[in-house]
Amino acid sequence: MPNLAPIPELYVSHESALKLKDEAGNLPSWDLTPRQICDLELLMNGGFNPLKGFLTEEDYDGVVENMRLADGSLWPMPITLDVSEEFAEGLEPGQDIALRDQEGVLLAIMSVTDNWVPNKAKEAEKVFGADDLAHPAVNYLHNHAGKVYLGGPVTGIQQPVHYDFRARRDTPNELRAYFRKLGWRKVVAFQTRNPLHRAHQELTFRAAKDAQANLLIHPVVGMTKPGDVDHFTRVRCYEAVLDKYPQSTTTMSLLPLAMRMAGPREAVWHGLIRKNFGCSHIIIGRDHAGPGKNSAGEDFYGAYDAQDLFRENAEEMGIEMVDFKHMVYVQERAQYEPADEIADKDEVTILNISGTELRRRLAEGLEIPEWFSFPEVVKELRRTKPPRAQQGFTVFFTGFSGSGKSTIANALMVKLMEMGGRPTTLLDGDVVRKHLSSELGFSKEHRDLNIQRIGYVASEITKNGGIAICAPIAPYAATRRTVREMIEQYGAFVEVHVATTIEECERRDRKGLYKLAREGKIKEFTGISDPYDVPENPELRVETENVDVDNCAHQVLLKLEALGLIGLQ
**Min CB(479)–ligand PPS separation in Å:** 9
Interface segment toward ligand PPS; rule CB under 6 A; list 170-178, 299-307, 364-372, 400-408 = 400-408
**Min CB(406)–ligand PPS separation in Å:** 5
Number of residues that bind ligand PPS (CB under 6 A): 21
**Min CB(174)–ligand PPS separation in Å:** 49
**Min CB(556)–ligand PPS separation in Å:** 17
Among 475, 491, 535, 538, binds ligand PPS (CB under 6 A): 475
Site for ligand PPS contains 396 (CB under 6 A):
no
What distance in Å separates the CA atoms of residue 379 and residue 518, rounded to the nearest whole number?
A: 59
Which helix (H) or strand (E) segment holds residue 143: the answer is helix 136-143
What distance in Å separates the CA atoms of residue 364 and residue 369, rounded to the nearest whole number?
A: 15
Nearer to ligand PPS, 106 or 513 (CB): 513
Nearer to ligand PPS, 198 or 480 (CB): 480
What distance in Å separates the CA atoms of residue 518 and residue 525, rounded to the nearest whole number?
A: 9
Q: Which residues contact 300 (CB under 8 A, 6 or more apart)?
A: 128, 129, 130, 132, 135, 263, 290, 291, 292, 293, 294
What distance in Å separates the CA atoms of residue 328 and residue 51, rounded to the nearest whole number?
A: 40
Site for ligand PPS contains 544 (CB under 6 A):
no
Q: Which residues contact 468 (CB under 8 A, 6 or more apart)?
A: 392, 393, 394, 395, 424, 425, 427, 457, 458, 461, 462
Among 406, 407, 424, 500, binds ligand PPS (CB under 6 A): 406
Among 218, 447, 480, 559, binds ligand PPS (CB under 6 A): 447
393-398 sheet: strands from edge to edge? 424-428, 467-471, 393-398, 492-498, 540-542
| 482 flagged as catalytic | no
- The answer to whether 111 is a known ligand-binding residue is no
| 194 flagged as catalytic | yes
What distance in Å separates the CA atoms of residue 478 and residue 457, rounded to the nearest whole number?
A: 18
Interface segment toward ligand PPS; rule CB under 6 A; list 12-20, 32-40, 407-415, 446-454 = 446-454
Site for ligand PPS contains 328 (CB under 6 A):
no
Nearer to ligand PPS, 227 or 520 (CB): 520
Which helix (H) or strand (E) segment holds residue 197: the answer is none
What distance in Å separates the CA atoms of residue 321 and residue 314, rounded to the nearest whole number?
A: 7
Interface segment toward ligand PPS; rule CB under 6 A; list 119-127, 235-243, 280-288, 401-409 = 401-409
**Min CB(448)–ligand PPS separation in Å:** 8
Nearer to ligand PPS, 61 or 530 (CB): 530
What distance in Å separates the CA atoms of residue 15 and residue 301, rounded to the nearest whole number?
A: 49
The answer to whether residues 172 and 276 touch, using CB atoms and an 8 Å cutoff, is yes
List, in sequence order, every residue forming a beta bridge with 189; answer none if it has no partner: 216, 282
Q: Where are the alpha helices (DSSP H) in 90-133?
A: 120-123
CB-based closest residue to ligand PPS = 429
Sequential DSSP letters for 227-238: TSPPHHHHHHHH
Site for ligand PPS contains 491 (CB under 6 A):
no
The answer to whether residues 226 and 489 touch, using CB atoms and an 8 Å cutoff, is yes
Per-position b or e across 507-517, b if 16+ CB within 10 A of its CB:
eeeeeebbeeb
Site for ligand PPS contains 407 (CB under 6 A):
no
Nearer to ligand PPS, 251 or 500 (CB): 500
- The answer to whether 209 is a known ligand-binding residue is no
Site for ligand PPS contains 429 (CB under 6 A):
yes
Length of the chain: 569
| 100 flagged as catalytic | no
The answer to whether residues 513 and 526 touch, using CB atoms and an 8 Å cutoff, is no
Over its C-alpha atoms, the chain yields an Rg (Å, rounded) of 26
Site for ligand PPS contains 450 (CB under 6 A):
yes
**Min CB(432)–ligand PPS separation in Å:** 6
Interface segment toward ligand PPS; rule CB under 6 A; list 78-86, 287-295, 472-480, 533-541 = 472-480
**Min CB(504)–ligand PPS separation in Å:** 13
Interface segment toward ligand PPS; rule CB under 6 A; list 178-186, 354-362, 364-372, 445-453 = 445-453
Nearer to ligand PPS, 114 or 428 (CB): 428
Site for ligand PPS contains 141 (CB under 6 A):
no
Site for ligand PPS contains 433 (CB under 6 A):
yes
CA angle 137–140–146, rounded 5-degree value: 130
Pairing verdict, β 148-156 and 106-112: antiparallel
- The answer to whether 253 is a known ligand-binding residue is no
What distance in Å separates the CA atoms of residue 505 and residue 401, rounded to the nearest whole number?
A: 7
Site for ligand PPS contains 129 (CB under 6 A):
no
For ligand PPS, the binding residues in 509-538 under the rule CB under 6 A are 511, 513, 522, 524-526, 530
List the binding residues for ATP: 399-406
Residues labelled catalytic:
192-194
Q: Under the rule (CB under 6 A), what is the footprint of ligand PPS? A: 401-402, 406, 429-430, 433, 442, 447, 450-451, 472-475, 511, 513, 522, 524-526, 530
